[in-house]
C-alpha cells in the first residue's frame, strides 16, 4: 500500500467511528424534511450506476469514431463497427457493447471547454462552474434525496464508490461528511473482496468478535450509567456497525455467491467484477454507485492502453447492461458512462508523447442507459474530426439535470443543507450558463 492509498484507506476503527457519527448526525440533523421531489412525473429511476472514466477517455476510440479523419486522428483504430442499431457505429474495440446499443444512447456533443482534470471533474460531476461554494456531486445529491433522509433503510451506505475514492474533488461539497461516498477499497476480483472496514485481511471474524468483547469488558462508563440515552444510541450504532460487518449485509459484497459463468460474463478483472458488484448493490436498493475506473489519462502509449483496456470495458459494461436488462433492473437503473473530458482527436505522435492523446474539453462523449433513458439513439454530433461540437451541445448540467428528473429530483428545486445556503440543486437559466437543455429526445415523453 503506497502512501496515498494508506491516506485514503478506511480502517475498521474509522468505519465504526463513521457509523457512529453518521447515526448521530441522522438523529440531530434531518434536512430530509425540507426535501422536495420533482414536481413533474413520478420517478422512473431508483438507482444510478456511474462508470467514471477517470482521466478522460478518447471519444474517437470509443463512441465517436471518425474513420475518415485519417491516421493522424485515428491511429490504427480506423475500422469502427456496426451496432445492433442501424446506422450507429462505435469503436472497433467495443464489439460486445455494439450488441447492446439498443439499450443505451450516446451523447456525442458533451462540452464544457475545460482541459484541467480537477476543474473538469468538478464540472462534470456537479454540473456547476467552480466558484466560492463547493457544490456536491450527483452522487451526494442522490444520497441526500434518496438516502437515509428519504427513508432509505439499507445498511449499505447509499453512495458507494468502487473501489478507490475519486480524490480530485470533494464529492459531498458543502453537504458535509454525512454525504460523502463510502469507498470500498479492496479488489472485487480477488478471492476475498476486502471491503474497507468490513472485511479485514488477516483478522478473522472470531478475533474481531473477541475484540468487541474485550471492549465491552473495559466499558466501565456504560456500566455506571445504565439507561443513559446517549450511550444507548452509541450502543445502537455499534450494533448497527457490527451488523454491517457480520450480518447479511456483508454478503452483498461476497461475490463468491455469484455463479462462475456470471462472473466470467463480466470479465475476471477489477472493472468487470466492479460492474457485477454494482449490479448487486442496486439490486439491494443502493441509490448511487460509482465505479471509479482509472487509467484513461493516456498521454503516452495511448493505443497500447486502448488495446488493453477497451476490451475490459467492453465486456464489463456490456455484461452489466445485459444483466440489468435480464433481471428487469434496467428500467429502474440509470447507467451513466463518461469521464471529465475527451481526448485530443489529433494523435500526438511527437516526443514526449510518441502516440498519445491530450485533454480535450471542447467535446467528448457520454453514454446513458436505463432508468427511463431511451436506447439506440445518438444525441448531437461533433465535427468531421471530432474537434468541436457540430450539433446540439450538451453541457454537464443538462445531463445531470436529466438524470435528476428521471430519479424524481427537481433540478430547479432547493438544495437543502445544514449551512443554510439558499441554493438550487442545479444552476438555472438565470445563472447565465450556456445550456443545450435537458435530454428530452431520449427521455420519456
Partner 1 sequence: MRALKLVVPLVLFLCVAQAWGQTPSREPHVGYIYPAGGKRGTTFRITIGGQFLRGATAAHVSGDGVHANVIRHYPPLRNLSQEQRVALREKFLGLFQARLAEMAEQGLVEGESIWRHLERISERGRRKNLENSESAAPADLPEHALLYDLESKSLRELLHIRYMLQQFKKGQRNAQIAEAVLVEVTIDRNAPLGTRELRIETNQGLTNPMAFEVGILPEIQETEVDDSRIADLLPKEPPLDLPVLLNGQIMPGDADRFRFRASKGQRLVVETSARQLVPYLADAVPGWFQATLTLYNAAGSELVFADDYRFNPDPVLCYDVPADGEYELEIRDSIYRGREDFVYRISVGERPFVTSIFPLGCRTGQKRFVSADGWNLCADRLFIDGQSDPAVGTRQKPLGQGKAASNPVTYDVNMLRARAEAEPNDDVEKAQRVLMPGIVDGRIEKPGDVDVFRFKGDAGDEIVVETIARQLRSPLDSLVRLIDAEGNVLGWNDDCEYKEGFLHTDMGVLTHHADSYLRAKLPDDGIYFVQVSDAQAHGGEEYAYRLRLSPPQPDFELRATPSSINLRAGLAAPIRVYASRKDGFGGEIEIAFKGDSHGFSLGGAKIPAGKDSVRITLNAPPRPLDGPVTLRLEGRAVIAMKVVTRPVVPSEDMMQAFLYRHLTPSQELMAAVRGGGRLGRNIELADKTPIRLRAGSTTRVRIAAPPHPKLREVKLALDQPPQGIALSNLAVVDGGLAFELTAGPDAQVGLADNLIIVVSTAVQRGQKNNQAIAKPRTELVPLGCLPAIPFKIIGP
Q: Does 307 bind partner 1 (CB under 8 A)?
A: no
Number of amino acids touching partner 1 (CB under 8 A): 23
Reply yes or no: is the peptide bond before residue 282 cis, omega within 30 of 0.
no
Q: Does 118 bind partner 1 (CB under 8 A)?
A: no
d(CA 299, CA 89): 25
CA distances from 445 to 28, 374, 395 (A): 41, 10, 21
Strands 364-369 and 104-110: antiparallel
Q: Where are the alpha helices (DSSP H) in 288-414?
A: 302-326, 396-407
The nearer residue to partner 1, 70 or 247, going by C-beta atoms, is: 70
Q: Does 294 bind partner 1 (CB under 8 A)?
A: no
The nearer residue to partner 1, 345 or 427, going by C-beta atoms, is: 345
> Binding to partner 1 (CB under 8 A): which residues in 20-79?
67-72, 74, 76, 78
Q: How far is the CB of 414 from partner 1 (least distance, A)?
A: 37
Stretch near partner 1 under the rule CB under 8 A, chosen from 278-286, 355-363, 398-406, 423-431: 355-363
Report the SS3 class of residue 78.
coil
Stretch near partner 1 under the rule CB under 8 A, chosen from 25-33, 139-147, 278-286, 349-357: 349-357
Q: Does 359 bind partner 1 (CB under 8 A)?
A: yes
Q: Does 434 bind partner 1 (CB under 8 A)?
A: no
CA distances from 175 to 140, 171, 183, 418, 421 (A): 8, 9, 18, 7, 10
Q: How far is the CB of 115 from partner 1 (least distance, A)?
A: 6
Out of 299, 414, 423, 441, the residue judged to bind partner 1 by CB under 8 A: 299
State which H helix or E strand residue 106 sits in: strand 104-110
Q: Does 300 bind partner 1 (CB under 8 A)?
A: yes
State which H helix or E strand residue 176 sits in: none
Report the SS3 class of residue 2.
coil
Out of 40, 191, 328, 351, the residue judged to bind partner 1 by CB under 8 A: 351
DSSP state of 332: G
Q: Does 350 bind partner 1 (CB under 8 A)?
A: yes
Residue 381, all three cell numbers? 454530433
Residue 382, all three cell numbers? 461533433
Residues that bind partner 1 (CB under 8 A): 67-72, 74, 76, 78, 115-116, 299-300, 347, 349-355, 358-359
Amino acid at each position: 500500500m503506497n502512501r496515498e492509498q494508506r491516506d485514503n484507506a478506511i480502517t475498521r476503527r474509522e468505519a465504526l467511528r463513521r457509523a457512529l457519527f453518521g447515526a448521530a448526525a441522522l438523529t440531530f440533523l434531518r434536512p430530509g424534511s425540507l426535501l422536495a421531489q420533482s414536481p413533474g412525473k413520478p420517478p422512473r429511476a431508483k438507482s444510478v450506476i456511474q462508470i467514471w472514466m477517470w482521466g478522460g477517455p478518447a471519444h474517437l476510440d470509443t463512441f465517436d469514431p471518425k474513420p475518415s479523419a485519417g491516421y493522424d486522428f485515428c491511429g490504427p483504430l480506423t475500422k469502427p463497427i456496426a451496432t445492433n442499431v442501424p446506422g450507429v457505429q462505435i469503436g472497433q474495440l467495443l464489439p460486445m457493447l455494439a450488441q447492446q446499443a439498443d439499450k443505451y444512447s450516446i451523447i456525442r456533443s458533451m462540452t464544457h471547454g475545460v482541459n484541467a482534470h480537477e476543474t473538469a471533474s468538478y464540472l462534470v460531476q456537479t454540473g456547476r462552474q467552480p466558484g466560492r461554494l463547493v457544490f456536491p456531486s450527483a452522487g451526494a445529491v442522490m444520497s441526500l434525496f434518496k438516502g437515509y433522509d428519504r427513508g432509505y433503510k439499507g445498511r449499505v451506505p447509499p453512495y458507494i464508490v468502487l473501489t478507490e475514492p475519486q480524490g480530485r474533488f470533494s464529492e459531498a461539497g458543502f453537504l458535509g461528511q454525512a454525504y460523502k461516498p463510502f469507498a470500498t477499497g479492496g479488489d472485487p476480483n480477488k478471492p476475498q473482496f476486502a471491503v474497507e472496514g468490513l472485511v479485514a485481511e488477516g483478522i478473522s471474524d472470531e478475533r474481531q468478535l473477541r475484540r468487541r468483547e474485550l471492549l465491552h469488558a473495559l466499558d466501565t462508563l456504560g456500566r455506571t450509567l445504565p439507561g443513559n440515552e446517549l450511550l444507548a444510541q452509541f450502543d445502537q450504532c455499534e450494533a448497527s456497525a457490527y451488523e454491517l460487518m457480520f450480518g447479511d449485509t456483508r454478503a452483498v459484497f461476497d461475490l463468491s455467491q455469484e455463479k462462475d459463468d456470471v462472473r466470467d460474463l463480466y470479465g475476471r478483472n477489477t472493472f468487470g467484477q466492479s460492474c457485477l458488484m454494482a449490479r448487486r448493490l442496486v439490486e439491494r436498493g443502493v441509490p448511487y454507485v460509482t465505479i471509479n475506473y482509472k487509467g484513461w489519462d493516456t498521454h503516452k502509449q495511448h493505443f497500447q492502453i486502448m488495446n488493453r483496456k477497451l476490451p475490459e470495458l467492453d465486456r464489463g459494461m456490456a455484461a452489466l447492461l445485459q444483466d440489468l436488462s435480464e433481471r428487469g433492473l434496467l428500467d429502474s437503473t440509470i447507467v451513466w458512462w463518461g469521464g471529465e473530458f475527451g481526448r485530443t482527436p489529433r494523435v500526438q505522435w511527437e516526443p514526449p508523447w510518441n502516440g498519445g492523446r491530450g485533454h480535450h474539453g471542447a467535446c467528448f462523449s457520454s453514454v446513458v442507459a436505463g432508468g427511463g433513458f431511451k436506447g439506440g439513439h445518438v444525441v448531437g454530433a461533433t465535427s468531421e474530426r471530432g474537434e468541436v461540437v457540430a450539433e446540439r451541445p450538451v453541457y454537464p448540467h443538462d445531463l445531470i439535470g436529466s438524470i435528476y428528473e428521471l430519479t424524481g429530483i427537481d433540478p430547479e428545486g432547493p438544495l437543502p443543507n445544514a449551512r443554510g445556503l439558499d441554493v438550487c440543486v442545479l444552476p438555472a437559466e438565470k445563472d447565465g450558463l450556456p445550456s443545450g437543455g435537458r435530454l428530452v429526445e431520449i427521455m420519456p415523453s
